[in-house]
A and B are shown apart, each in its own frame.
Chain A
Amino acid sequence: MANDSTTAATPVRRASRPSRSRQRLTSLAGFLVTLAITFLGLLAITFFIGRIVPIDPVLAVVGDRAPVAVYERVRQEMGLDQPLITQFVSYVGDVATGNFGTSVSTGKPVIEDLARVFPATLEMATLGIILGVLIGVPLGVFAAARRGSWLDQGIRVVGLLGYSVPAFWLGLVGLAVFYARLNWVGGPGRVDIFYDGMVSPITGLILIDSIIVGEWEIFRNAVWHLILPASCLGFFSLAYIARMTRSFMLDQLSQEYVTTARVKGVPERLVIWRHAFRPIRVPLITVIGLSYAGLLEGSVMIETIFSWPGIGNYLTVALLNADMSAVLGSTLVIGAVFIGINKISDVLYRVLDPRAR
């Protein structure tokens, strides 16, 4: 988690200004190197997965009855006669230039498909994390403030449920209860079929697009559809965020300065929110970042349930059709975003926490 963030840059007290900035430069360089190695590792894994597929990519192109000469020629054209390392280098080159191959199921370049579906996932995950933070952080703080009470126990159970409830089951039950029985929320899909395709994508985020063109009806409909899947995602991030907030708060509340504040007669509400909560905002950023990255992953299951046209749905359809270019492309994109968010929250932690600078 965030534990390796403090190892890289140890502050040198006596250092004069220029060498300090140089040190910052080396730590930045070190960061970029690890980032590059991690991305290369991700590429190596997807490359490896692409190799162990039991389907012969040449046969897939030429068909079973092609003569040996044709087979050999295509094999050479595809670069499959080259040593593995050469193949890997050209694979890295392809990915770097945005060439992820062509999807068998949609017949379009994978990169185009991904650019089309990604905003839908982003929209859902972002609303999910907002809900998770808005509810999870206060819950964690209350649980820590009333440690051992029934409220604390209840929040603890909710936290553990976040680790035990299958996302797809929660989505299904949510649909059955809140959509079919109570009709409080919209059903599967991003908008009602009636509105489908009425707003042409500008940013791809339907909430923002509908505001831009001033279609408030569609905006309301989109919120109506978004609220349930986003709440399901929000539940998982809430569980994790509340749990971590509680443990950070307990750490702070046992510190001597909190006792001092209490002895001075500072009202308990101020002790909790001003004295104890302020220092945990920085570690919370890392937690929220991790949780956000986790939601992108969690959206795979939720999107399947809600027929949400995002990257998770795209990935599962590709999986079932053994559409490997699409599978590996989605894996790469989700993996890269996951790594990116993790690293950004790591950097933010270092920038915001004076001790880790």
Chain B
Amino acid sequence: MTTLRDWLIDDSPASPMQARLGRFYRIFGALMRNPLAVVGAIIILALVLTALFAPWLATHDPLRQSLGERLLPPSAAHWMGTDELGRDIWSRVVYGARITLAIVTLVAVLAAPAGLVIGVAAGYFGGWVDRILMGITDIFLSLPKLILALAFVAALGPGIENAIIAIAITSWPGYARVARAETLTFKNSEFISAVRLLGASSLRVNLGHVLPLCTSSMIVRVTLDMAGIILTAAGLGFIGLGAQPPLPEWGAMISRGRSFILDQWWVATMPGFAIILVSLGFCFLGDGLRDVLDPKSGEQR
């Protein structure tokens, strides 16, 4: 009996589509055998679902203040208690998932393609292009990321958009390095020479053949970097340079709870648990993805 599974793991796929789906299926299967990766995937899925269905999951309006209910401890009515303006912390944490998801997605969308293009260009063309591009990359890599992001935000002005731009500016160099290393390993292989002999332009060689091969290591790298991006964004929010009030950003919420840490501990701790959970999720998933997609890189990161 031929099943969907047999079709997927067929050794001689009839179409590129079948081969691609088969590869995806195998990666998925290998990932699901790693318990930590499964936990990570579940956490990330939960983050996405929470962000999507925030209005249904939240029990209160995240921005509605009710001064009569200030600083209440966690209870049946307020699962994580209330903050200094009587806002329900659970609802704010739920809505905060949207902000966190938006930040990591935007940083990934801005920084990863930029790093990819720069790295592939440097690796493929070599010579002066390589030296200049990698020189700039190395300078950025040798600087402390958080401090650089702080300085950029200071110059651009506080706000969540500028925080995203600043984090993206500091995270592309890592991707450029990875993409360059990958490109160098493919550059002189026979299938690239074959495509070239067929008369393909360098743009076509790169877009059609080199870039797709870099994607798996890029996905690993981006997933592993997510925790750092979340922490930097939360740090900017905490200092007061990221998301501005009344946005329920987790870092900014911890900052508000700082004054009440001794007596009303839940105001600052609850958003912290959300940050830790989501960052851990990305770490677990990234570790698992690396074992499956990029086993040679090992633990070195």
> A residues near B, CB below 8 A?
1, 37-38, 41-42, 45-46, 49-50, 52-54, 160-161, 163-169, 172-173, 175-176, 180, 243-244, 246-247, 293-294, 296-298, 300-301, 304-305, 315-316, 318-320, 322, 324, 327-328, 330-331, 334-335, 338-339, 342
Contact = CB atoms under 8 A, between A and B. Distances in A.
B138 A38 contact: yes
Interface stretch (B13-21, B62-70, B84-92, B278-286): B278-286
B299 A244 contact: yes
A297 B265 CA distance: 27
B84 to A, nearest CB: 15
Contact of B251 (A163, A166, A328): A166
B148 to A, nearest CB: 7
Interface string B233-244: 011001111000
A166 B232 CA distance: 9
Contacts of A300: 146-147, 150
Nearest to A312: B147
A45 B148 contact: yes
Given A168-B254, A176-B265, A160 B143 contact: no
Most buried by B among A164, A167, A316: A164
A294 B154 CA distance: 21
Contacts of B298: 247
Contacts of A322: 154
Contacts of A335: 143-144, 147-148
Given A45-B143, A166-B275, A247 B299 contact: yes
A53 B155 contact: yes
A49 B155 CA distance: 6
A250 to B, nearest CB: 8
Most buried by A among B155, B238, B265: B155
Interface string B257-301: 010011001001100100110011001100100000000001110
Nearest to B145: A297
A21 B284 CA distance: 48
Contacts of B136: 41
B130 to A, nearest CB: 14
A344 B74 CA distance: 51
Contact of A161 (B145, B151, B276, B300): B276
B137 to A, nearest CB: 10
Contacts of A247: 298-300
Given A297-B146, A334-B144, A169 B275 contact: yes
B147 A301 contact: no
A335 to B, nearest CB: 5
Nearest to A1: B300
Contacts of A38: 138-139, 142
Given A164-B227, A166-B238, A246-B299, A173 B269 contact: yes
Nearest to A251: B298
B245 interface: no
Interface in B23-51: none
Contacts of A54: 157
B143 A304 contact: no
B152 A49 contact: yes
Given A42-B139, A319-B154, 12 more contacts: A160-B287, A169-B272, A176-B261, A180-B261, A246-B299, A300-B150, A318-B154, A319-B241, A320-B239, A328-B151, A331-B151, A339-B143
A164 B155 CA distance: 28
A163 B272 CA distance: 14
In the A-B complex, the 5 residue pairs with the closest CB atoms: A41-B139, A164-B279, A247-B299, A169-B272, A297-B144
Contact of B258 (A45, A172, A334): A172
Contacts of B280: 160-161, 164
Contacts of A161: 276, 280
Interface residues of B, number: 49
B155 A301 contact: no
Nearest to A330: B147
A169 B254 contact: yes
A172 B276 contact: no
B276 A165 contact: yes
B231 interface: yes
Nearest to B261: A176
A298 B258 CA distance: 19
A296 B144 contact: yes
B147 A297 contact: yes
A161 B238 CA distance: 19
B249 to A, nearest CB: 12
B156 interface: yes
B275 A324 contact: no
Nearest to B169: A45
Contacts of A45: 139-140, 143, 148
Contact of A52 (B142, B150, B156, B227): B156
B144 A167 contact: no
B128 to A, nearest CB: 15
Contacts of A176: 261-262, 265
Contacts of B251: 166, 168
Nearest to A177: B265
Most buried by B among A54, A175, A334, A339: A334
A331 B144 CA distance: 9
Interface in B213-235: 227-228, 231, 234-235
Nearest to B150: A319
22 contacts: A38-B138, A38-B139, A41-B139, A45-B143, A160-B287, A163-B283, A164-B276, A166-B272, A168-B238, A169-B272, A172-B268, A173-B269, A244-B300, A296-B144, A298-B146, A300-B147, A305-B258, A315-B150, A328-B151, A334-B144, A335-B143, A339-B143
Contacts of B55: none
Given A327-B154, A331-B151, A166 B235 contact: yes
Contacts of A324: 154-155
